[in-house]
Structure 1
Amino acid sequence: MTANRQALDRWAIVPRILRDVSARNLEVDLFGRRIPAPVLFAPVGAGSLAAPGADRLIGHAAAELGVPYIFSNQASVPMETVAAEMDGVTPGAPRWFQLYWSTDDDLVDSLLARAAAVSADAVVVTLDTTMLGWRPQDLNLGSLPFARGEGIAQYTSDRRFVDIVADRLRTAAEERPEISLGAIATLVSITRNAPGRFLSNLTSAQPRAAVQTFLDIYSRPSLSWDDLAGLRERTSLPIVLKGVLHPDDARRAVDAGVDGIIVSNHGGRQIDGAISTIDALDEIAPAVDGRIKVLIDSGIYTGSDVFKALALGADAACIGRPHMYGLALAGAEGARDAVADIIAELDLTLGLAGHTDVTALDREALRRV
């Protein structure tokens, strides 16, 4: 996480003077849709840790700004509810869907079908988290939200997943959890986060079975390029690969016929010591050479950060932690204002640096410090 920020600081913006910058354009095209700024709300799992109903509030914020929200596969609110919230603000507001590739193929197909049904503009296949990384802060805090039933609403609202849980309950003997204060607190959390009535859930094995099923099947460590080859037959949505950090992988993504990539190290939460995303982008953008869309996330906190990413070849940037901080402070308004401020700063930076169109930025706007 620190490396992401330090790497951005090694790139300096070089302003140009005496250019007419009175009219500026921030709009970009992404997969057939014109959006007002090259900024997206990144998916953040277990958002309810920051605010109850987080995903619905973030969707509301994104719809107000008219920029895409990438629905988290590890959401605390089902995608259908978030889509309805967004459409209530701005009908047809742009939204994408993040896919964690489950070990159950039918569940993958169900999630893809639901994403298409809520009019997602693209599916973002997250490839940098087929296993959770070593996260000392989470371990120190005992932060295990998924084990408490937080962030699994896309699953508990899915018919295929519910069927898997029911099959497991029919064929497996129920295990009695060890009784302790921690176990009781976890049980209460699981019960509260499960769909349905609290008292009914408290006496049912279903919520605990759902959590265990999620932990068993949510991700597929064996995922390979061979699996990706069949994805085009399973969805008509544009396919974006998230977690690309090497130019050879970017080239292979182009050859595989995907529509875009997100240069991402998962906010620095997966591999300590991994390459920063802005340095990876510097190598990846020339390798892609405009053949597919290139986005970036991880460490992008300000409008000048977005400017630097665009100048190094990104088509857009995804904002993660800042909108979550805004959400924690002031709900939907806080999430909206955090990203609105980034867009406003991008606009001012563009003009003050002597440029008028984000799509025309290139490396000449920067110097390596």
Structure 2
Amino acid sequence: MDLDSLFTVDEFEAVAQRKLDPVYYDYIAGGSRDEVTVRANLDGFGRLSLLPRVLRGSAQRDLAVTLFGARSSMPILISPTAFHRLVCTEGELATARAAARADTIMIASMASTVAVGEVAAAARAAAPADHEPTLWFQLYLQPDLDDTTALIARATKAGCKALVVTVDSPVLGANERNHRNRFHDLPPGMACENLRNLRGDEPGNVRQIAMSPELSWDHIDWLREHTELPVLLKGVLHPEDARIAVDHGVSGLLLSNHGGRQLDTVPATIDLLPEFVEAVGGRVPLLLDGGVRRGTDVVKALALGAVAVGVGRPIVWGLAAGGEDGATRVLELLRDELDHTVALCGARGLADLTPDLVRPAAGSRR
């Protein structure tokens, strides 16, 4: 596959769809129920227009961001997605190397098919000699808090610099594509490797990820007492919960609707962003994922108050199309589009991306 002939995330998805087992493609592309939110995430950016400034340019644009003491060359992070070995033999090892090559932050999924320690080692091996790659760890708080403690220890030992706690999943979403395809288990030879021999007393055993219907703010308080790492919450959608989260001392929020894979018909994250900015009031960094496919999407999110965005499915499409090189090209395409859009908006860097650059598109009911 000539990756240089692919110029958009959508083109990578088309290649991935041709190459993948249709069951696996549906697992990745699909969402819950009628997939209203999956479509809304994509459509939300199209309901916004950019209104550029002129005669304020610069020969080079500064795209770097610093998050919790770690520098990323761009405000485009890799959001956590599960089971990368379904689409690429090397799985999350290839993803980690792509992140290191692009000099950006990877949020490693708890549901990874490669253990987080190996993922971290792959990132370090691929990074330039003078650069320490940054890995964060996505966490589902387990009903048995001893399991959660063990996961935190495993991520900390691997060198992860933050915990991203998914809080929108008291129960799993209902993916009807998976039901129709009867896809409920990983194929032989694959497992959630972060849950293998979790407490060190069960060699070879892999636990199942358990959802926690009883999850409460008390669990967040407990977590903060059991780690020195920054704690971000992923999946808060109500602005009042954002206020409560900040009051409970979280370090940041990743505004996410799980790519439309949990509660269907919730709003697109870009639609919620202005309310979140107001609710948080600059007290913690706000990140966003959901539907980011273009550099223009990134600029709109940053202009409206996000400090960075995450991409999930686009990375998986890159892996499916071309492994590590495919994921790297997706990141570089998005970086180039971001830089190009920043320049056309008359901005010298990310600090110049302000809300006045964004307007409702013609015909939008915003």
2:323 is equivalent to residue 326 of structure 1: no
The CA distance in 1 between the partners of 2:225 and 2:351, in whole Å, is: 32
% identical aligned pairs: 38
Contact between 2:252 and 2:285, CA under 8 Å: does it hold in 1? yes
Contact between 2:288 and 2:310, CA under 8 Å: does it hold in 1? yes
Q: 1:2: how far off?
A: 0.3
> How does 1:1-369 map onto structure 2 within 5 Å?
1-90=38-127, 92-146=132-186, 150-160=190-200, 163=202, 210=206, 213-214=207-208, 218-369=210-361
1:318 match: secondary structure: strand
Contact between 1:145 and 1:151, CA under 8 Å: does it hold in 2? no
1:237-260 deviation line (CA, Å, top 9, x unaligned)? 000000011110111111011100
The CA distance in 2 between the partners of 1:27 and 1:157, in whole Å, is: 38
Q: Which of 1 and 2 has higher RCO (CA within 8 Å, sep 6+)?
A: 2
Contact between 2:294 and 2:334, CA under 8 Å: does it hold in 1? yes
Q: 1:346: how far off?
A: 0.4
Q: Which of 318-327 and 43-52 deviates more? A: 43-52
The CA distance in 2 between the partners of 1:64 and 1:51, in whole Å, is: 18
Kindly tell me the number of residue pairs found equivalent between the two proteins: 321
1:45-80 deviation line (CA, Å, top 9, x unaligned)? 112211123111100100111101111100000001
Q: 1:148: how far off?
A: 6.1
Q: 1:114: how far off?
A: 1.5
The CA distance in 2 between the partners of 1:345 and 1:14, in whole Å, is: 17
Q: 1:23: how far off?
A: 2.4
Q: 1:149: how far off?
A: 7.1
The CA distance in 2 between the partners of 1:103 and 1:273, in whole Å, is: 27
The CA distance in 2 between the partners of 1:80 and 1:139, in whole Å, is: 33
1:159 match: secondary structure: coil
The CA distance in 2 between the partners of 1:336 and 1:17, in whole Å, is: 32
Which residue is 2:6 aligned to? none
The CA distance in 2 between the partners of 1:359 and 1:126, in whole Å, is: 29
Q: 1:146: how far off?
A: 4.8
Mark the runs of 5 or more structure 1 residues left unpaired by the alignment: 167-194, 196-205
The CA distance in 1 between the partners of 2:193 and 2:351, in whole Å, is: 37
1:252 match: secondary structure: helix
Contact between 2:56 and 2:348, CA under 8 Å: does it hold in 1? no
Question: How does the TM-score come out when normalised to structure 2?
Answer: 0.84
The CA distance in 2 between the partners of 1:46 and 1:261, in whole Å, is: 24
What RMSD in Å do the two structures reach over aligned CA positions? 1.6
The CA distance in 2 between the partners of 1:222 and 1:343, in whole Å, is: 40
Whose radius of gyration is greater, 1 or 2?
1
1:284-319 deviation line (CA, Å, top 9, x unaligned)? 012112110111111111111111110111010001
Do the aligned partners of residues 149 and 225 (structure 1) sit closer, same or farther apart at CA in structure 2, a change above 3 Å counting?
farther
The CA distance in 2 between the partners of 1:84 and 1:2, in whole Å, is: 36
Runs of 4+ in 1 over 3 A off after TM superposition: 145-151
Contact between 2:172 and 2:211, CA under 8 Å: does it hold in 1? no
Letter in 2 for 1:82: V
Contact between 1:295 and 1:316, CA under 8 Å: does it hold in 2? yes
2:329 match: secondary structure: helix
Letter in 1 for 2:351: T
Q: 1:356: how far off?
A: 1.2
Q: 1:221: how far off?
A: 1.5
Contact between 1:96 and 1:124, CA under 8 Å: does it hold in 2? yes
Q: 1:33: how far off?
A: 1.5
1:6-61 deviation line (CA, Å, top 9, x unaligned)? 11111111112222232211111100112110111111111221112311110010
Q: Per residue, is there more helix in 1 or in 2?
A: 1
The CA distance in 1 between the partners of 2:189 and 2:111, in whole Å, is: 10
Q: Which of 262-271 and 130-139 deviates more? A: 130-139
Mark the runs of 5 or more structure 2 residues left unpaired by the alignment: 1-37, 362-366
Contact between 2:93 and 2:114, CA under 8 Å: does it hold in 1? yes
Do the aligned partners of residues 148 and 225 (structure 1) sit closer, same or farther apart at CA in structure 2, a change above 3 Å counting?
farther
1:45 match: secondary structure: coil
